[in-house]
Structure 1
Amino acid sequence: MDRVVDISTDNSRVSADRGFLVVSQADGATGRVPLDDIAAVILHAHGVIWTARVATELAKRSAPLVICDVNHAPVAVLLALEGHHAQGARIRDQWSASRPLSKQLWKRIVSAKITTQAGLLAALGRREVAPLLELARRVRSGDPENLEAQAARKYWPALMGPDFRRDRSEGGANSLLNYGYTVLRACVARSIVAAGLNPSIGLHHENRGNAFALADDLIEPFRPLVDATVLGLIEAGVSEVTPDAKRRLASIIALDLRLDGEVTPLTVAIRRLAHSLVISFRDRRANLAIFDAPDRNSWSRWVGRVPGEVADVERISADVDVRDV
């Protein structure tokens, strides 16, 4: 069972006690979540006090502590330094991976992302499906033509309308996207560390200030799942990151995907992708386990789901939300 714990009540105190994450508030309300069940903790509120023991206990479990700004984009992430008994050998394989191998891996990621974007547009009956599929087919090693960006310029207007611009600093749909991507990024980072890889050594993203470059690589095929959920929220009249919106976006980690002929939760698909990257580095051959493009019914179900329909949502208190898988 994986849980994303979101803390958005001001002046909360977060501590660890006897195997539980404990959230206390000024009015006396207290919530407890088993530490072993936590996939990530996301902090939004001002004045939250958290103890060093919380950070230590989460790190032992490779569960990231994510700190967000007012637009719900992450500004800091605390993550474990060690996550696997073979970490040293795996990081050496990762570090010594050839540039051609990294480019081949990035090609597969970009092609999968664009194909998934096209699948979402097709399920919605939108335009630009054929051009996106053509771009996905044309992606070459390393994506030297930057077809990922070309696809984005077609995809966002077709999905969100001609006036939409993807901007992390903006509110509305952009804030909802920020939050959903934050949930995904935390899960991907956790799986990378748990697999014994270093999240700062990316395949394509190479910004020296980005400690999670590899997470930003591997998240790409999963982004349209967030986009579909945000579209559903917008169409339901939800334009801000409300508690209900957070629960729905956090529920993304429970979506069922098809991978190698089996149905598996998104969190498991992420772990399998990270492990397949380990094998690719070891064998010096690109062989990524990327989920199959969802069918039309799956897309329609994810877009059409209304806030509150997700089962097994436990609320610690007014604005402390936990999502179970």
Structure 2
Amino acid sequence: MIKRTLFFSNPAYLSTKNEQLVVNFPDEGKKEATIPIEDLGYVVLEDSQITITNGLLMKLVQNKTAVITCDKQHLPCSFFQPLVGHSEQTERMRHQLNASLPLKKQLWQQTVTAKIENQANHFLARGKNALRLKRYAKDVKTGDWNNQEALAAAFYFQNLFELEGFSRNQKGVPPNNLLNYGYAILRAVAARALVSSGLLPSLGIFHHNKYNAFCLADDVMEPYRPFVDTLVYDIVQTGCSLEDLNQNIKAHLLTIPAMDVLIDEKQSPLMNAMSRTTASLVECFEGSRRKILYPEFKTSLETLVN
């Protein structure tokens, strides 16, 4: 089932009744709205004057709905997660904590290879030369000690948008702001899936930072980034102003959890694919599987051939 994403950009009072999310607006003339909580996957709260009851927060967390709040720049900045996300959480976390360094290096090699392959296929879908990216993907070593990810990323972003002087930088010129927003949504999708699989989002296989509570989310989301990039690319191609994240752009980027991706040769909503990725990671930690399951960015030509 595809879960819905709700986005609140204006003052509102959010409560619950009869397992429904109830929305009341301070503006006169707006009717009360209700949405079944079981249908919700993500709730994004942008306006600082939104009020939400503790009862609703409890039900959303119990439903494993990701509640995302935004900062003054309107970028997602926090994510609510349940203390218990899976019935076998303790055992799964123990396997995660006991994962050997060689295993982590192998998993990171698989992750980087999948990411660069998807970047290359995104290039092909845009009619760009992907030979250099394909070469980077083949040269990834265990643990990516030769840093092919960074080399690929630099080349990829220098040539993706065809904007003079553009480079990927969180505080850089547009469309960096669009990428920041899209990746923040993707990060929440990854964190939600990890918690639901009984894993610790803060304990990464490669990323490690004592100030980062979502290191593992940052790991597993890497091969998914090109799916965000393709949405941003389409927005850039429209020629619209990119200085401000208007409502239309945000609405487009908030479709990320529901966008179709190809995983294990089958089409699946990205949020469901992420759950399959994190479930496969659990099996890798347990020792019953050797490879993480990641989506493939397929071009139209590749789909026809296969």
Scaled by the length of structure 1, the TM-score of the pair is 0.86
Give the counterpart of 1:269 among 266, 270, 273: 273
Whether 1:106 aligns to 2:96 is no
Name the SS of the counterpart of 1:142 in structure 2.
helix
Contact 1:71 1:178 in 2 (8 A): no
What are structure 2's unaligned runs of at least 5 residues?
none
What is the CA–CA distance in structure 1 between the aligned matches of 2:15 and 2:167, rounded to whole Å?
39
State the identity as a percent.
Answer: 35
What are structure 1's unaligned runs of at least 5 residues?
300-325
Per the alignment, residue 259 of structure 2 pairs with 255
Per the alignment, residue 44 of structure 1 pairs with 46
Q: 1:40 offset after TM fit, Å?
A: 1.4
* Deviation larger for 250-259 or 76-85: 250-259
What is the CA–CA distance in structure 1 between the aligned matches of 2:302 and 2:288, rounded to whole Å?
35
Count of paired positions: 297
What is the CA–CA distance in structure 2 between the aligned matches of 1:34 and 1:171, rounded to whole Å?
40
Per the alignment, residue 117 of structure 1 pairs with 119
Give the counterpart of 1:188 among 180, 187, 190: 190
Per the alignment, residue 141 of structure 2 pairs with 140
Cα separation, partners in 2 of 1:72 and 1:175, compared to 1, 3 Å: farther
Cα separation, partners in 2 of 1:72 and 1:202, compared to 1, 3 Å: farther
Spell out the pairing of 1:202-213 with structure 2 (5 A cutoff). 202-213=204-215
Q: 1:237 offset after TM fit, Å?
A: 2.4
Name the SS of the counterpart of 2:245 in structure 1.
coil
Contact 2:12 2:50 in 1 (8 A): yes
Structure 1 vs Structure 2 CA RMSD:
1.9
Per the alignment, residue 63 of structure 1 pairs with 65
Per the alignment, residue 296 of structure 2 pairs with 292
Q: For residue 17 of structure 1, what is the amino acid of its counterpart? A: K
Greater length-normalized contact order (CA 8 Å, ≥ 6 residues apart):
1
Q: 1:178 offset after TM fit, Å?
A: 1.9
Name the SS of the counterpart of 2:27 in structure 1.
coil
Cα separation, partners in 2 of 1:297 and 1:192, compared to 1, 3 Å: same
Contact 1:39 1:190 in 2 (8 A): no
Per the alignment, residue 89 of structure 2 pairs with 87
Q: 1:218 offset after TM fit, Å?
A: 0.8
Q: 1:298 offset after TM fit, Å?
A: 9.6
What is the CA–CA distance in structure 2 between the aligned matches of 1:185 and 1:235, rounded to whole Å?
25
What is the CA–CA distance in structure 2 between the aligned matches of 1:286 and 1:75, rounded to whole Å?
34
Name the SS of the counterpart of 1:150 in structure 2.
helix
Q: 1:269 offset after TM fit, Å?
A: 1.0
Deviations 1:202-239 (A, max 9, x none): 11111111111111111111111111111111111232
Spell out the pairing of 1:124-273 with structure 2 (5 A cutoff). 124-127=126-129, 129-160=130-161, 161-170=163-172, 172-238=174-240, 239=242, 240-273=244-277
Per the alignment, residue 74 of structure 1 pairs with 76
**After TM superposition, which residue ranges in structure 1, 4 or more long, deviate above 3 angstroms?**
70-73, 169-172, 296-299
Per the alignment, residue 27 of structure 2 pairs with 27
